[in-house]
Amino acid sequence: MAKQTDINLRSKVIYSVYVRNHTEEGTFSSVIPDLDRIKSLGTDIIWFLPIHPIGIKGKKGSLGCLYANRDYRTVNPCYGTLEDFKKLVDEIHARDMKCMIDVVYNHTSPNSVLSEEHPEFFYKKENGDFGNKVGDWSDVIDLDYSNKELWQYQIDSLVMWAKIVDGFRCDVASFVPVEFWKQAREAVAEVNPDCIWLAETVHSGFGVMSRKEGIYSANDYEMFSAFDIEYEYDIREVFDKYLKGEVSLSHYLDMLNFQEAIYPDNYDKLRFLENHDQPRICSFVKSESDLINYTAFLYFLKGTTLIYAGQEFENAHLPSLFEKEVIDRSTGKDLSNFLAKLNEIKKTELDDDDCFRAASDDENDIAILERDNGKSRKIGVFSLKSKGGEVAANIPDGNYTNLIDGKNITVKDNKLCCCGSPVIIKI
């Protein structure tokens, strides 16, 4: 684990914004009027999906993918100017939030500034042409990190942005050498010692397949030597199988326990139900009461919480990365107050130094989670199918208050009666 990592990051909430689709205008300036609402959810950090110009050659869709970067050192003119972005960052800081930007260092657009000025920085196919190692990513070409001059260019770019923003979400970070990230972190620390580093590590199956094909892919344990937070894709495949009814809840919860066992004491996993690459949770979970349980479950997990813009309005459609599809705020549904309450519990009742343990009632799809730091125990009971039932919770008999809704919870014979709604109690 990066020695500088502060476990207080576990109490933070990140809100992810896709500028193109956040408003009808799709500009930096148009995000500013929404900052107070975003802040009210409990947001600590706003993460912007890539803000750089998008390449044209080989582009997907009518507008191209924002992950096909054309220039690391400028902003997408469709969003505004660099000054517009700096003003947005200032407004974020004025509301006591931080700003994180997405950096895409594994590849660029085929007609990127870097490919035109430094073709020697790129991976070449046997015939000498630019190429990429992952065939589905047909709109990008891969960088070649065996060239150490590329390292300096990329690090200089990060240092430039670190003077403006507070952190980086690093796209497909596992495919870029860990030693590069360590060196980059050291350089950035000279201008921004509090910079936050979030790694998009890859799905376990994807990492294994890539290594089999001869593609460099660092594992999650290695990545923690350079990053503060990393994706929970190491166990996401099991969660997805649970959503599809292919495995039991206990299988997924066992994977959460496995994370607790194998990672360093100050590990921090990004916890999410959805993101810009994953289907919206509401495309799987149709019941409002089930969704309430899933959401409370998310906030109780140990790690930084991610909310993808539109999640609070229960959007079921995942916006395209290649087209203009504004998030839908007219669903008639709004979880904002609930998210704010869960944020309050996360920050005031849960502790950053908690140990974590999970168990389940598979018959009723009820997760029983425990966090304990030796000073206080916190128990979360989440019925992911909104079923009732008595659960063995290893809690002394007595009356407790549900921190979510203030209702009385009775424990008798070390069993708690779950009525189908989420419960969080503190002992």
Task: Express each pLDDT in 274-322 by its tens digit.
Answer: 999 999 999 999 999 999 999 999 999 999 999 999 999 999 999 999 9
Amino acid at site 129: D
User: What is the average pLDDT across 115-132?
Assistant: 95
Kindly provide the residue ranges of all beta strands, DSSP E only, lying in 188-257, ordered along the sequence: 196-199, 229-231
pLDDT at 1: 58
CB burial class (10 A; 0-12, 13-18, 19+) of residue 281? buried
3-state secondary structure at position 419 = coil
Confidence of residue 362 (pLDDT cuts 50, 70, 90): very high
> What are the backbone angles phi and psi of residue 422, rounded to the nearest 5°?
-70, 145
pLDDT at 91: 98
Among 225, 290, 285, smallest CA distance to 5 is for 225
The mean predicted confidence, pLDDT, of the chain is 96
Cα separations (Å) of 110 from 130, 144, 337, 407?
8, 14, 44, 58
pLDDT at 237 over 70: yes
Cα separations (Å) of 223 from 134, 176, 178?
21, 10, 6
167, β-bridge pairs? 100, 196
Q: Which residues have CB under 8 Å from 111's CB, separation 6+?
A: 55, 56, 57, 70
Q: Number of C-alpha atoms within 13 angstroms, CB side, residue 285? A: 24
Confidence of residue 203 (pLDDT cuts 50, 70, 90): very high
Asked whether the whole model's pTM tops 0.95, one would answer: yes
Report the alpha-carbon distance of residue 386 to residue 400 in Å, rounded: 21
Task: Express each pLDDT in 239-259 by its tens digit.
Answer: 999 999 999 999 999 999 999
Residue-wise DSSP of 364-407: TTEEEEEEE-SS-EEEEEEETT---EEEE----SEEEE-TTT--
| Share above pLDDT 70 across residues of the chain, in percent, rounded to a whole number | 100
